[in-house]
Amino acid sequence: MDEFYRALCRAAGEEQIRKQESMAFHTTFRTGGPTAFFAAVRTEEELGKVLRVCREYQIPCYMLGNGSNLLVGSGGFPGVMISLEGEFKEWKILREEENGYVLLKAGAGLLLSKIGRAALEEGLTGFEFASGIPGTLGGAAVMNAGAYGGEMKDILVSVLVMTRDGEVRELPAGDLKLSYRHSCIPEKGYTVLSAVIGLKKGNPDDIREKMEDLAFRRRDKQPLEYPSAGSTFKRPEGFFAGKLIEDAGLKGFSIGGAQVSEKHACFVINRDHASPEEIRDLIEAVRRRVFETSGVWLEPEVKLLGFESSAGGADAFADSKKE
């Protein structure tokens, strides 16, 4: 691994590569084992080089956003966590279209909250729904993130991606097969570099009022005082996950330091120094109990890495779906 480490350092600069970095510092669950290597890349060129090194040495890598839908096992991740820094956290106004939309381009590593503030400063409306989502633009595009009646597909114009072979392509949003919490980006093995979103001119006071209202609703309904990955489960068709969990009598149910929130049952929280395994086991216990009481298998939004059944980022809960 020493040779691989030196190759990573040549690709991104020694100061940008760290060994045995605790993932508790990089996930919103605030728990998790170490990643073998952590690479903070600042440019498209550095990213291409790091991905090429990982391919050459056959070392797994994972694109890290804000860590808001990720849980890493206590044993850690035996590969490279890649964090997008530098130019990937920049934004700019491109132009105003004839249809009244203003095009804003932002890097994949930029937090949605910062884009929300930028849109407010520019008097642009349409991004309010996303301004409180604790993720990055890249992650939001990959999963078609949404909240309070809005989704990324409503405002996404195009994305710039890097293919597995290092080729850079610009893809219109219509080619991404965007649906509920889904895009074709992971299936194609693409890495999002940046995205263009279309927003409209609005009244800054109205925009601010809407953002403040949504922020109040989040604080009022969600357990923001505890580490979590946000909403833990996807909404099953025809149901609400939180209602199914509450009806199963699981509100407040805990395993070790992990707990189903008493405030909102769709949130699994790290209430008291929970281990990754306690959180994983609680998610699985909730899924099984809900299936027993309703016949519905809940699908987690959380991605697992560093667990025996989650090698390569696969669905670690798939084996438990025994109907």
Check if 83 is active-site: no
Element (H, E) at 85: none
Q: Is the Cβ–Cβ distance between 302 and 70 less than 8 Å?
A: yes
State the pairing for strand pair 168-172/268-270. Answer: unpaired
Q: Is the Cβ–Cβ distance between 132 and 214 less than 8 Å?
A: yes
Check if 301 is active-site: yes
Element (H, E) at 118: helix 112-121
Query: Which sign does the torsion angle of CA 210, 117, 226, 253 carry?
Result: positive
Q: Is the Cβ–Cβ distance between 227 and 194 less than 8 Å?
A: no
Structure tokens given for 29: 């669950």
Instruction: Compute CA distances 83 → 110, 190, 259, whole Å.
Output: 11, 15, 29
From the list 46, 128, 278, 301, the catalytic residue is 301
What is the CA angle 280-286-290, rounded to 5?
Answer: 150
DSSP 245-271: HHHTT-TT-EETTEEE-SS-TT-EEE-
Q: Is the Cβ–Cβ distance between 55 and 11 less than 8 Å?
A: no
**C-alpha radius of gyration, the chain, whole number:** 20
Residues 6+ apart with CB under 8 A from 257: 270, 271, 272, 273, 274, 275, 278
From the list 194, 228, 231, 254, the catalytic residue is 231
Q: Is the Cβ–Cβ distance between 81 and 51 less than 8 Å?
A: no
From the list 52, 181, 288, 289, the catalytic residue is 181
Residue with tokens 């995205």: 195
Which residue numbers are catalytic?
181, 231, 301
